[in-house]
Amino acid sequence: MIFTNFNNNFTQTFTRIVITILLLTGVFSCDEKRQSASFSRMVERGYVTVGTLYGPNSFSLQGDEIRGEGYTGFEYELAKKYADYLNLKLKVVASYSLDELFIKLNTGEVDFLAAGLSITDKRLERFRFAPSYESVSQKLVFKQGNVRPRDIDDLTGTLMVTANSSHAENLQRLQQNNPDLTWIETSEFDSEELLIKLLEGEIDYTLIDSNALAVNRRYYPEVSVGFTIKQAEPLAWMVSKNSDDAILASLVEFFGQVHHNGTLLALDDKYYGHIEQFNYVETRTFIKAVETKLPQYQPMFEKYGQEIDWRLLAAISYQESHWRPHARSHTGVRGMMMLTLATAKQMGIKSRLDAEQSIRGGSKYFKRMIAKMPDRIPNPDRIWFALASYNVGFGHLNDARIITQQQGGDPDRWVDVKTRLPLLQQKKYYKHTKYGYARGKEPVHYVDNIRRYYDTLTWLDNKSKQEQTVSTAALEVSE
């Protein structure tokens, strides 16, 4: 897990939730009209208003064809599930500024904040929190190639963090025992912008949460970790001390439910399950290949990837062959999409070494794998299952799904099935399956790699489109 603590002792947490609900229920009985007023208005108007931060972890306006077009982000999706849980619509108020969000919360413009906020002592003095759903650590980062700092005493340059963040609060605490520690707080830049300033040499260090670091290193691999400046901190949604207790009670109940039914685990896997490990060389090599190799083959991926997403097709091809038309393996698969001879014949491919034919065949075969998945399985799990089938075969995937169901897991959730696929390598399991032994760890790594490549390629593609739009607009103004 990217997060350092995924609520390891659910029994204790659930007990606390039950106690909290009982206490709050008691409060309601004393003054039900006053305590439930805000919640009643929320229900009456028909929507929940959430305050959040712009960014890949919380809320982004750029979705994709796998996660869905439009809005995306871990916090956004979790807030949407909360609104659905209440049978209400969701209204999002997004900002680049924590200060602005705190004001909106206290003035009642938003009902709560969902923005990856740590529970800190200072914040507890001003706000209340729903049950924690994850924990993250704080990392001090620097630019690859510079001297790595291993503790606070090694800091020799400019350290900049976002004002009123948990990072700033932590530095204030550390300064009590390290009086020479200095830093700059800014309300102008968010965490991703600070990473860009770091890479451009405008600052030497910044702090970032472990989950945000994992996401951003796919795009900025030169961001390196110096040391962990603070161990696990719980994350939670924030509510105003002036808000009514009914809102908090509903949050307590909601998080108890999503912890218990696996919804939170599945959402965590969707956004972070494939990026737990980071390889600097691999990431740099891929980004370079996007710049140098991909332009030659991109028209082909676009031509044959229209029904899925050409960027996903390109990610599959990179995982298979690193975009080498004459690639081959000892198992007999060959070409851009590494097709077997039998699969190539089934797909109507005459030459596996012809780049366009291989891409056409691989696209056709992958679409066939998607079509084989039960209709009840939604995206993105449907896509991950299809990728696993492309690698290990549909029969072996089904064997793993059956084992998952037998063990009480959900056979339609990738997060459950991927933990059972490696069991196909153990005789006590595969001897009871229809298709027998399989190297079950391989499809898990296979899917994770393609997901990373796809995310990076999607980000680079969107960035390129934005730059072209800006360039075109500037040209029009100059003319």
Active-site residue list: 320
Residue 393 forms beta bridges with which residues? none
Contact call for residues 416 and 409 (beta carbons, < 8 A): yes
Amino acid at 76: Y
CA distances from 379 to 299, 369, 386 (A): 25, 14, 11
DSSP 274-294: T-SS--HHHHHHHHHHHHHTH
Distance CA(2)–CA(5), nearest Å, equals 9
Regarding beta strands 127-129 and 238-240, do their DSSP bridges make them parallel or antiparallel, or are they unpaired? antiparallel
CB proximity list for 108: less than 8 A, separation 6 or greater: 38, 240, 242, 243
CA distance 230 to 178: 15
| CA 82/CA 96 separation, integer angstroms | 23
User: In sequence order, which residues have a C-beta less than 8 Å from that of residue 11 and are 6 or more positions away?
Assistant: none
CB 333 within 8 A of CB 467: no
Distance set, CA 28 to CA 23, 254, 426 (Å) = 9, 18, 55
